Structure 1
């Protein structure tokens, strides 16, 4: 079984707009064509600082310039998935989550990337979206700001 490690960095950007709380999300397109909302962010390049990853990825996926203002936590996931020829991969993902503040740019969709839409969503309505678990983890980290930066036991 092949081992795979992926380190990625994301921003949770929340704003008040017309008396409502909104969160910035990007819609991820999986390799099989499925679509789910996620936090903007993504995989680190070799030698890249996680803050730089967050800034780059948010810009690529949303058009916004973001300033990471606080490390909220690191989520660790592990699962297996099938690979060609009957093999399986043992995947370990480390997802670094920052609180981010939008400082510039204009909202736009990513082209030729892993996401196809970017949008602000009412925070109270996120539970009704088709989303990856990282959205809920990010919101929990943002709300609770746990001392150890861990959303779940």
Structure 2
């Protein structure tokens, strides 16, 4: 399929681990996805650099300022044609990041994030219905980086 025949969303996310805990945000759901835990991050604005998107999204969703590290992994998923909608591709880039300031508290108003919390890393790595697949992808990539 030619790229003009489907919609594309580029998103950037952060894996932030500290003292055996990972920072996650609570996605409040939409018409295609149930509510659940996800990595802080989201859609990259037009003309925005990926690391800048991570800084902005983490601030909005968690209240923290971050320094963005290297990309850990990428992931692509597609949603095929549905009546009334074009096919859709989501390209997600996951970065390592560390907190450099701020205070825990969601700043986003009227958005898709209700709150953020630190969760034990091992609990977050366990697959559950209330955890988005991107959390496991991010943790796996982060562990691969830290064991090099």
Given candidates 7, 11, 15, the residue that maps to 1:8 is 11
Distance of 1:100 and 1:37 partners within structure 2 = 18
How many corresponding residue pairs? Answer: 138
CA contact (8 A) 2:127 2:136 kept: no
Given candidates 107, 113, 116, the residue that maps to 1:115 is 113
Structure 1 segment 57-76 matched on structure 2, within 5 A: 57-76=57-76
Aligned to 1:46: 46
Aligned to 1:29: 28
The secondary structure found in structure 2 opposite 1:89 is: coil
Deviation at 1:136?
A: 0.5
5+ residue gaps, structure 1: 146-153
CA contact (8 A) 1:26 1:116 kept: yes
The secondary structure found in structure 1 opposite 2:6 is: strand
CA contact (8 A) 1:3 1:91 kept: yes
Given candidates 101, 104, 121, the residue that maps to 1:104 is 101
Aligned to 1:141: 141
Q: Which has the higher strand share?
A: 1
